Structure 1
Amino acid sequence: MLPLYMMAMIGFTARKLRVFNQHANQVMTQLMLYVTLPALILFSLQTTYSIELLIDFIWLVIMSIFVLSLSVFIAARLRKKAALPNEQKSVYESLIIFGNQGFIGFAVIHILMAEQGIIYLTIFNICYLILIWTYGIYIFTMHDRSVNWRMLFFNPGILSTLVGVCMLFLPLSWPDIILTTFEDVGKMTVPLSMILIGSFLADIRIKDFIQYGKNKYIWIAAILKLMIIPLSLLVFIFLPVPRSLIIVAILTAAMPSATTTSVYAQKFGADTSFASFGVILTTLLCFITLPIIYTILQWIQPFISD
């Protein structure tokens, strides 16, 4: 994972030297969400259909439903018990459930497992994408009836995933020139994502850490999101699930809280500062927790089926 840290350091340095400004961060975010990430998904899902792939698909969906259901259950229970203002409760729940599986997730899995890992990650993310654009909005808008639910179908991540899955299971393929274009554009996702994360980290103010760092609920959310909930997927080592699928599922579930939480907080009137700190804190901590998770996975590999 050292190359990822170096990419993030480039982004951090560039932001500190004012090579990037806030507008540049917004442009890079839009570029990844609407161009490079969909291209990477479409390229990665262009593979040969087989019975083995169908079985892998089923296992990944089962693990995704399991970990998301557990996350929703835990987060909803903790939200009710939390002594937080109303504008922070929805943020608290979202920090626990939703991870940065797009930016950091694709970067980490691509480094470790190349295109095959991206196929697994994309399949694992299908349920996640649907949940974050439905339940993710709901927890911020429980009493707001003005939300346009049709936005679900215009999300580039969902659209590219659905198109890619259709191409995966149908006797269809992209022309070589289009597939090559998807490949070249998609390859920009990993470096762009880590450079952007580094740039975000450069904007952190020390006084923000002092203020929100004393909030126990953010730390509870971080521990659950980065360690406890992902490791719950270890129950699948007792089932005939291929090792590579379990590794992808656990590492993906161990990603830091999604930046979408901050976007939703701003859009729907929740506490944006609380949300931003939670996202930044889990992003910083993941540079410690992800190697720990990966070490645990390496240690238990002999007990997982191939």
Structure 2
Amino acid sequence: MITTVIDQCLILLIFLIIGFLCSRKNWIHKKHLSSLSNLLTNIVLPAAILTSFNVNIAAYNLNFFVTIICISLFLVAFPFLLSKLLVSFTHMELALKKVWIGCCTYSNILFIGIPIIGTLYDEKGLFILVIYNTISNLFLFTLGIKLYKNDINFKSIGLSLLSPALLASFLGILLLILNVSLPKTLTTALNELGSMTAPLSMIITGALFGLINIKKFMVSKNIYIFCFVRLIVIPGLVFVILNTFITDKVILGVMILSAGMPAGATNTSLATIYSDKGPETSQYVVMSSILCIITLPILMYVLSL
């Protein structure tokens, strides 16, 4: 099981290195990154989201759904409020505070989570993850976009509900409820397209990382503090809180592992599209993706006790 975690993390790091080298060799230019980010968020990611709903809901009752939705809302709100509190004590510029909050709140659920959760907890675990991912995406593509855009107009949140990622989520929920399957050819095409999500997102992140000063990155205390909060503090506190009233080991395991995932690469795409902090955002994604090779196996060991 721990081998699965390490393998998935190393695969993502390979994609990061490819993106980094492409940037340093000028095979991917800075001007291309916004277009690639749009391709990811508007085409590739929606395909991955839609295909993630290919699960059977017949075995689960209403109480199960309500429990997962409530915990999912907590897992989005808790890191958001905690990170907002923490950055209020720092002297970072406002734009970087928002990057900190975004990367703490929205983790790499889909890319690392699905292979790991699928191996550990089978179909039930994947279904829990799909619900959590849907709730997380609802906030990421509404309040998350608002966060990166620095937009105080709440009308923009309504427009964000029409984003391809959320439309894919709504369609997936509808197909799930109606127990309707898409045609095999279309499903295959969407699976192939969705499989590009992890490589493309991490290549974009690696390319953005290639634009920064590596020496400054390596000695940045802020990056290491972020990783400590994202990878240790958040899952640790979530474990303490949920362990007091959640008796279902699968629900507990899925939610705590999800809380311990590194910063989501989609943050870099949104920061690239809606602000000028793409390279800075990539630093949080890169370092947390590297360090989670150590922290995720430890988290799995704690859950097995």
TM-score when normalising by structure 2 = 0.77
User: Which residue is 2:263 aligned to?
Assistant: 256
Q: Which amino acid aligns with 2:133?
A: N
- Correspondence 1:264-275 to 2 at 5 A: 267=274, 272-273=276-277
* Distance in 2 between residues matched to 1:35 and 1:157, nearest whole Å: 8
User: Which residue is 1:108 aligned to?
Assistant: 112
Once the 2 structures are TM-superposed, how far is the Cα of residue 228 of structure 1 from its aligned partner? 0.9
Tell me if the contact between 2:227 and 2:288 (Cα under 8 Å) persists in the aligned partners.
Answer: no
* Distance in 1 between residues matched to 2:149 and 2:111, nearest whole Å: 31
Q: Which amino acid aligns with 1:70?
A: F
Once the 2 structures are TM-superposed, how far is the Cα of residue 53 of structure 1 from its aligned partner? 7.7
Indicate yes or no: 2:70 matched with 1:66.
no
Q: 1:108 to 1:149 in 2, by over 3 A?
A: closer
Q: Which amino acid aligns with 1:225?
A: R
Once the 2 structures are TM-superposed, how far is the Cα of residue 281 of structure 1 from its aligned partner? 2.7
Q: Which amino acid aligns with 1:17?
A: K
- Counterpart pick for 2:291 among 289, 292, 299: 289
Indicate yes or no: 2:199 matched with 1:191.
yes
Tell me if the contact between 2:51 and 2:190 (Cα under 8 Å) persists in the aligned partners.
Answer: yes
- Counterpart pick for 1:231 among 233, 236, 259: 236
Tell me if the contact between 1:91 and 1:265 (Cα under 8 Å) persists in the aligned partners.
Answer: no
Indicate yes or no: 2:169 matched with 1:164.
no
Indicate yes or no: 2:305 matched with 1:300.
no
Let me know the Cα RMSD of the aligned residues: 3.4
- Correspondence 1:16-27 to 2 at 5 A: 16-27=24-35
Name the SS of the counterpart of 1:51 in structure 2: coil
- Correspondence 1:177-188 to 2 at 5 A: 177-188=185-196
Tell me if the contact between 1:8 and 1:195 (Cα under 8 Å) persists in the aligned partners.
Answer: yes
Tell me if the contact between 1:98 and 1:258 (Cα under 8 Å) persists in the aligned partners.
Answer: no
**Structure 1: tracts of 5 or more residues without a match:** none
- Correspondence 1:24-43 to 2 at 5 A: 24-43=32-51
Q: Which amino acid aligns with 1:108?
A: I
Q: Which amino acid aligns with 1:126?
A: T
Tell me if the contact between 1:68 and 1:128 (Cα under 8 Å) persists in the aligned partners.
Answer: yes
Tell me if the contact between 1:39 and 1:185 (Cα under 8 Å) persists in the aligned partners.
Answer: yes
TM-score when normalising by structure 1 = 0.77
**Structure 2: tracts of 5 or more residues without a match:** 1-6
Q: Identity of counterpart residues, as a percentage?
A: 23
Q: Which amino acid aligns with 1:107?
A: F
Tell me if the contact between 2:50 and 2:168 (Cα under 8 Å) persists in the aligned partners.
Answer: yes
Indicate yes or no: 2:220 matched with 1:213.
yes
Once the 2 structures are TM-superposed, how far is the Cα of residue 295 of structure 1 from its aligned partner? 1.2
Q: 1:41 to 1:206 in 2, by over 3 A?
A: closer
Tell me if the contact between 2:16 and 2:286 (Cα under 8 Å) persists in the aligned partners.
Answer: no
Indicate yes or no: 2:131 matched with 1:123.
yes
Once the 2 structures are TM-superposed, how far is the Cα of residue 164 of structure 1 from its aligned partner? 0.6
131-140 or 224-233, which moves further after superposition? 131-140
- Counterpart pick for 1:11 among 19, 39, 56: 19
Name the SS of the counterpart of 1:148 in structure 2: helix
* Distance in 2 between residues matched to 1:264 and 1:280, nearest whole Å: 9
Once the 2 structures are TM-superposed, how far is the Cα of residue 251 of structure 1 from its aligned partner? 3.8
* Distance in 2 between residues matched to 1:47 and 1:259, nearest whole Å: 24
9-18 or 258-267, which moves further after superposition? 258-267
Give the length in aligned residue pairs: 290
Q: Which amino acid aligns with 2:26?
A: R
